[in-house]
Structure formats: C-alpha cells, structure tokens
Amino acid sequence: MPKNLINSLEWLSEPRIVCGLMTGTSLDGIDIAICSFSSAKDNHSFRLLAFNTFPFPSEIKNILKDIISRKRFIDDISLIHFALPKLFAQSIIQLCNDSSIKLTEIDAIGMHGQTVWHQPKQKEIANLRISSTSQLASGSALAKLIGIPVVYDFRAADIALGGEGAPLVPIFDYNFLKSKTENTICLNIGGISNITYLPKNCNTSDIIAFDTGPGNVWIDLIAKEFFNLDYDKNGNLARQGKVNSALLNKLKEISFVQWKPPKSTGRELFNKELLFRLINNITKFDAIATVTYFTAWSIAENIKSFLEPANRLIASGGGANNLFLMELLKKELPTINFAKSDDFGISSDAK
C-alpha cells in the first residue's frame, strides 16, 4: 500500500508502528513515544513500545522562550524551524537504539511541533477577521532527514474553520477512555490544563473539550525563579507555604477562567510578565502555594461551571504527579472519583 494513503482509515487496517513527537508549552523537552497500533472494526488498541524525554539544548530553549516572549525576529524563528527537525531526528534515532527498535520498522511519525503562538480569538487586519496558531519544526525537513513519512500541522485547519485549534486530544480520549456507564472528565495538566468531557455512552458529537487555564506553567516558573528547580516535585514546596489571599484575589480576576467554552490559551496569556506583575511582598513558599492553589481552583471552577456532574476524573500530564496539586483539586471536587491514566494502561507522561 503506498505511503501516501497514510491519511485513510484503510492504512490502520494493518498493524502499524507509529512514533509520536510532542513538545509542550512547558518547554521541558522532546517527548517521544513509539507505539504499535492495531484496529478491529471501530476498536483501536495500542501498546507503548518505548518512551523518553530528550531535553532541549539550553541555547535552543532560550531562543524558544525569546520567540514566545516576542523578543526574536524571523531570522531566528526560521533557524529554529529547521534546527528542531534535526534535534527530533537525532532523538528518534537515539530512542530506537536505546529500545532496540529498527528505524525502518516505523511506519509514520506524528509531529506536533513546538507551539510558539496561539491566538484562537480573532483579530482584525485588512478587513479580515483572523485567528492564528504557530508550531515550529518543519515536517518536510524531518521527513527528508529521517526517511519516514511525517504527519504534522494538526491545528491549522481547525483554526482556519474557527475552531480552537486543538482537535486531537479529545479524539484520543474518546477512543481510549470513554465509558458506557460513567460521565468522565479527562484532565491533562501540561503547561496549560485541558479537559475532555465524555458523557457516559457518548458518541463523537457529544465530546466537550477546552483549556481551563494554567497547568504547570506558573508553578514551574516560580520553582525556577525562586528555588532554582525545574519543577515542584510532588508539590513539596507549595505544601510548605500558605495561600496569600491578596495574590489569590488578583489571580482570580484573570477572566479566562470564567470564559464559556470552547476556549483555549497558552503562554501568550499565562506568561512570566503577568505573574511577576501580580506577585509582591510575599515569601517564595507562599507564592508557590498560592499559585498551586489557583491552578487547582481554576480547573475545579471550570468543571463546576461548565460541565454536567461527572463520576470520575482521569488525570494525566506532568501535573498529575504533583501530589499537593491533586490533593487541592480533590478537596474542590469531593464528589468525583480520581484516577490516573496509568490506571487504564496509558502512561500519564507519554500520553
């Protein structure tokens, strides 16, 4: 079967090995999962063969941060667009070597690319109303460098049609986490937190999916700036502080949390500048405690305001490992049963 039939369902009728490449808004590196997929009728199943995270070289990470903070121009943006595919190719080859998978066994690569801008709210220009989203890393370049077909640019078509530009996670959640008997919330806490709501016995048209606000983005930022740590392991730092009500009230004024879904956001809004403008005269432990509480509150607030009552919540993403954050969230949502995606055979990190 020719490789260019990769976008047909027929392609999945044979067992396939697919490599997924994700680089999230937290900029913590290149997550690579290699999975085998098989399908019988409407029933897809998969097995994780290998997974690892490859950190960005600090030079690349710093330029990425600068691009997102509107400090770099097209020359550097173009450079990174072609540097990332080289890093991705090297990392895939490394993971294959480490896990004794032959590169030639991989049928396709799914590459998200590094989001550097996401503006689903329309802006007016030249009498046009335009939403936009930008992910760096040239898919054509990666395909040539590694010799495997690359599927990429997942958000543009959805954005062009007026969507929020996040069409994939809900489809995954639907295929692998829906329940016949329980209203299910799939919560992914990456840099930003997002929810897929799957009413019991639902079909695809019943899916509700949106971003709730911050995930780890601000917690990581305080860990880095005040504690010189990459993240707050298990939430142990936040646990030592007290919620500062003045700061919390200011955070609660960020209107995104109250917006009606569908909605999506990113580092354009939840950035360093906004956070440090709000933080004043407060200990570093109280700062991380307050921001962790706000993160839990903003997730819970969205669930209470915009969803029908749910029986269970399935958490994934780096934030699912923050025990203190998860405790706070459980307190806010006492009637919901909590689980991790790992309980369903889906690695919370590799998801």
Q: Where along the sequence are the contacts to a second copy (CB under 8 A)?
A: 2, 4-5, 7-8, 57, 59-60, 63, 67-68, 70-75, 77-79, 81-83, 85-87, 116-117, 119, 123, 125-128, 130-134, 138, 140-145, 153, 156-157, 159-161, 268
**Least CB distance from residue 80 to a second copy, whole Å?**
8
> What residues contact residue 273 under an 8 Å CB cut-off, 6+ apart?
69
The smaller minimum CB distance to a second copy, of residues 119 and 295, is found at 119
Q: How far is the CB of 223 from a second copy (least distance, A)?
A: 24
Using the minimum distance from each CB to a second copy, give the nearer residue, 89 or 177. 89
Of 249, 246, 250, 260, which Cα lies nearest the Cα of 305? 260
Closest approach of a second copy to the CB of residue 259, in Å:
20
Instruction: Tell me the closest approach of the beta carbon of residue 175 to a second copy, in angstroms.
Output: 22
- Closest contact distance (angstroms) between CB of 72 and a second copy is 7
Residues in the chain: 351
Longest pairwise C-alpha distance within the chain: 64
Q: What is the DSSP string of 45-65?
A: EEEEEEEEEEPPPHHHHHHHH
Nearest to 154, CA basis, from 38, 266, 7: 7
Q: C-alpha distances in angstroms, 224 versus 25, 54, 70, 320?
A: 15, 19, 21, 19
At closest approach, how far in Å is the CB of 132 from a second copy? Answer: 4
The residue among 153 and 182 lying less far from a second copy, judged by its C-beta, is 153
- Closest CB to a second copy among residues 144, 242: 144
Q: Which is nearer to a second copy, 114 or 321 (CB)?
A: 114
As measured in angstroms, the least distance from the Cβ of 133 to a second copy is 7
Exposure string over 314-350, b if 16+ CB within 10 A, otherwise e:
bbbbbbbbbebbbebbeebbeebebbbbbeeebebbb
Looking at the Cβ atoms of 4 and 335, the one nearer to a second copy is: 4
**Cβ closest to a second copy, residue 122 vs residue 236:** 122
Tell how strand 114-125 and strand 150-152 pair up.
Answer: unpaired
The radius of gyration of the chain from alpha carbons, rounded to an integer in Å, stands at: 20
